[in-house]
A and B are shown apart, each in its own frame.
Chain A
Amino acid sequence: AQTVTQSQPEMSVQEAETVTLSCTYDTSESDYYLFWYKQPPSRQMILVIRQEAYKQQNATENRFSVNFQKAAKSFSLKISDSQLGDAAMYFCAYRSVEEGGSQGNLIFGKGTKLSVKP
């Protein structure tokens, strides 16, 4: 079974600085998707960024980028020029694409609570 591990329960960053959130996962599958979701205090989870395992190029969305290391099964999220609005819980998630896999269901880590200091 696939697992997702986020080893940082809490992180803090100064406004305008850069922070990296860690995520590792375990799977025997060769193709899958990885996601970072953000859950602000209002509690609605929003997709921040996604990565397709067969793509070597790291995904980027504005100030958010990932460092995807497939061999190491690592998928970290870098937030550049941090803003107060980035304060939230961040969840790393895995999704299988293979037949017999989790069939589209997301497997989450425990989350990392990010605080942004003004």
Chain B
Amino acid sequence: EAGVTQFPSHSVIEKGQTVTLRCDPISGHDNLYWYRRVMGKEIKFLLHFVKESKQDESGMPNNRFLAERTGGTYSTLKVQPAELEDSGVYFCASSPRRWDTEAFFGQGTRLTVV
């Protein structure tokens, strides 16, 4: 069974450009989470999907970030326009049910904004 996969693994963009990160959760997992780790800081929650619906987006930093989950399958996280402080590693995780005690993580996308 394939794990959580994220694309791209690394992205370098200029300030002001747009970047779209993609996450493919484990098949059948209704719950999908996005997290971000800025260098040297904690991994922070961004948002949580249950199927195609946003359950909690309280961690989204501002309106430059837009997350979607088409048909309850893969998810995208778009940053437009990107700022220097958006640099970091973006993690995606999935779990079958809301209260599952284990979330499965992808390898992350390292975003560098220059």
Contact = CB atoms under 8 A, between A and B. Distances in A.
Which among A4, A43, A47, A104 has the highest number of chain B CB atoms within 10 Å? A104
B75 interface: no
A103 B43 contact: no
B42 interface: yes
B31 A109 contact: no
Interface string A75-118: 00000000000000001000101000011111111110000000
A64 interface: no
Contact of A43 (B31, B93, B102, B107): B107
A102 B31 CA distance: 14
Contact of B3 (A43, A44, A106, A107): A44
Interface string B18-59: 000000000000010101000011111100100000011001
Which among A95, A105, A110 has the highest number of chain B CB atoms within 10 Å? A105
A19 interface: no
B101 interface: yes
B56 A45 contact: no
A105 B41 contact: no
A54 to B, nearest CB: 13
Interface residues of B, number: 28
B88 interface: no
Interface residues of A, number: 25
A44 B33 contact: no
A62 interface: no
A105 B101 contact: no
Interface of B: 3, 31, 33, 35, 40-45, 48, 55-56, 59, 89, 91, 93, 95, 98-103, 105-108
Interface of A: 4, 33, 35, 37, 42-47, 50, 52, 91, 95, 97, 102-111
19 contacts: A37-B105, A42-B107, A43-B89, A43-B107, A44-B107, A44-B108, A50-B101, A97-B99, A103-B98, A104-B48, A104-B100, A105-B33, A105-B48, A105-B56, A105-B59, A106-B33, A106-B35, A106-B93, A110-B41
